[in-house]
Chain A
């Protein structure tokens, strides 16, 4: 564990309740989530000692924000350990330190205009800069609404803030597009949950075990017919396992 007090989790989650966020998923007319017809994965694995964080990019306040965010979105329950125990916070930090975080493969020349939604990302910011500005703006929004930074809020408040972000109901005072920040943050959390563990997230392959993704397995040729309409299960294999 890091000794930096800023890195200590200031909030202890009590298994956050699901936010009532409406999904903007495929299609429109399907009713709400059905009950599970699938047994949950055998008892969630004991939280692995996630790789010691040792953040490369995140400053103390940012680390607190990211940890609170990933533990709110991915709470510990019978389906998986919580986000920080899976290393999603570490994934995000590493992603922001990587070429991607620094704007690799991103055309950053101006002039910059808002554009239409169809024109996609139009900011002058690298992902690392957008995270930094977005955390600042979200915390400012939380201070204004609740008198506290995001990571200091209780679980229900945090869920409410995220729901507002997700539904496009937040306007940041500093002019930053809340939608641009949130869509990147949401995507990065999902990436940290489901990418190969080599990137620091998905520790214990918790994301892959959640859905039953077998990872980097070598071939399925013999399984197409034999597993048709039968759940194919295998211990997931990662890049490191095969290297």
Chain B
């Protein structure tokens, strides 16, 4: 039997970006908050110091800051007819572990998702007609609007110290920013970063073709900055060790230097590390969560933490697994379409070209995590007519590589020998002479893409692994076919000696790394028949439980997820502070 601890007001599962935001906001509101984090303590002063942190092998290849698949992982397959097998080591995506979560080692591309995403079904039906949406594509409106979220995007950008250039200030379009974005109340807190040569070249080629290049918004600070909570953020050093690494100059807006230390200053907040939550407990009539059960990894003891409110902030995939392990809600079944937990799992797609120049020097090791130039002409540009290309969604197209670390980055044209003197010669030449143009594409939910529990494989606690069934469907293949063509046409104007051309992406594979942009599984929406949580991320049935993270996204856009992940966490925290605490209970009537 688990030993029962004294009651607290709030228990938070996981202390990354979303857990950190909630911890700070609720502790400041006067609640007694306990966060349980399965990993260990992590601070910039101890963990991100130079030279130790500049170790490509340890952090990029051996994934030292990330989830340890020996303890818990997922099983994976491309379709329901296959047998799922365990993801035995990390590959395609890299969930975080330890204080700060994946926020410690993210890249920092920070977008706002607008009404085109938040009201996706209504918008497409209105413009293209109901029949344009395939039967088995389960897109839905999110139940929240951009106007509601705008102040919370603004807040997250200010907390993380985002560098960028507005393209739409309160309706006024500004050339040089993203003119397709939804209106912003304020400029970015910091001006854009410097551009790499690849960004300059890409922007000029794109502009020449009539597109609208703009700097990628980045939580890598272009200048020293003090955020509204008093956190001191340093200026980006363009060190080339960003994605998968902690930042030694505190220039990457991460929870470790912002919300978590702020929460830790509050006497109301307690952090327990090495605390692995295995289950959410609920009362007998299934109306309230009563707390969580966890294992203290320091001695193996099982403990029960009773709490007035439960916040799931363990990363979208883990939040879904916790619901399944706890028997909360019905698990989605693709044959019947019944069940909501695990439904609408999406990933991202993408494609890219590599351009090889004989007379250019890209110095790929001089790089920030998130920088460069992007075009949104095929993404947030609602005027872009999807009909001739026959797909729903969009794609960003950008240039600006994030690193030249040589174990992972050694572009050579196809046909280059794989070893020996000629390999060395080509590796040396093209290391300086290559650049990429890359696209990140949306993925729409599909009946046959989902999460559930595996019948065979188990984690170290004896719980079934979560099973991921996912592949790209015709909608996504058509999207990458179209975008590959666009990229190749841009590349062809740029005067490269060789171009490794972009092509469509047809099937999802669990290796190599693509992105940690997993969405869905605990989706939000406007009614309990089609969503797990309401617009405030409050669980429809257990009204004292809130579920954060990208698991609530009913579909995945082309954009990286953390902008709305952060904004929705602030939005939910605000709803708890201003609405829920006054009248605990459902914030939206079912």
Contact = CB atoms under 8 A, between A and B. Distances in A.
Contacts of A15: 421
Given A74-B419, A196-B56, A231 B363 contact: yes
Given A25-B411, A77-B424, A34 B82 contact: no
A111 to B, nearest CB: 7
B237 A107 contact: no
Contacts of A144: none
Contact of B419 (A41, A162, A199): A162
A21 B419 contact: yes
A3 interface: no
Interface stretch (A58-66, A134-142, A215-223): A215-223
Interface in A174-232: 186, 189-191, 194-196, 198-199, 207-208, 210-221, 223-225, 227-232
B416 A33 contact: yes
B339 to A, nearest CB: 25
Contact of B417 (A19, A100, A223): A19
Contacts of B85: 113, 115, 119, 122
A84 interface: no
Contacts of B497: 34
Given A210-B424, A220-B240, A118 B509 contact: yes
Contacts of B51: 216, 237-239, 241-243
B579 interface: no
A30 B73 contact: no
Interface magnitude class on chain A: 35 or more
Nearest to B251: A221
A133 interface: no
B424 A105 contact: no
A29 B419 contact: no
Contact of B413 (A25, A120, A239): A25
B486 interface: no
Interface string B68-88: 111001001110001101111
Given A26-B354, A30-B499, A239-B51, A36 B429 contact: yes
Interface stretch (B178-186, B194-202, B309-317, B561-569): B194-202
Nearest to B499: A30
A186 B420 CA distance: 12
A159 B404 contact: no
B356 to A, nearest CB: 7
A102 to B, nearest CB: 11
A231 B500 contact: no
A19 B421 CA distance: 9
Contact of B361 (A16, A23, A117, A229): A229
A27 interface: yes
Contacts of B407: 190-191, 194-195
B395 interface: no
User: Which residue of B62, B240, B407 has the most chain A CB atoms within 10 A of its CB atom?
Assistant: B407
User: Which residue of B90, B353, B415, B420 has the most chain A CB atoms within 10 A of its CB atom?
Assistant: B420
B54 A239 contact: yes
18 contacts: A18-B423, A29-B500, A32-B413, A116-B77, A118-B76, A118-B507, A120-B510, A120-B511, A191-B57, A194-B406, A199-B57, A211-B410, A213-B406, A216-B50, A220-B240, A224-B196, A232-B361, A242-B50
Interface of B: 50-52, 54-57, 61-63, 68-70, 73, 76-78, 82-83, 85-91, 194, 196-197, 200, 235-240, 249, 352-354, 356, 358-361, 363, 365-367, 404-407, 410-429, 431-433, 456-458, 497-503, 507-511
Given A22-B414, A211-B432, 14 more contacts: A18-B423, A20-B417, A30-B498, A37-B359, A100-B62, A104-B70, A116-B77, A195-B57, A207-B406, A220-B238, A224-B366, A230-B363, A238-B51, A239-B54
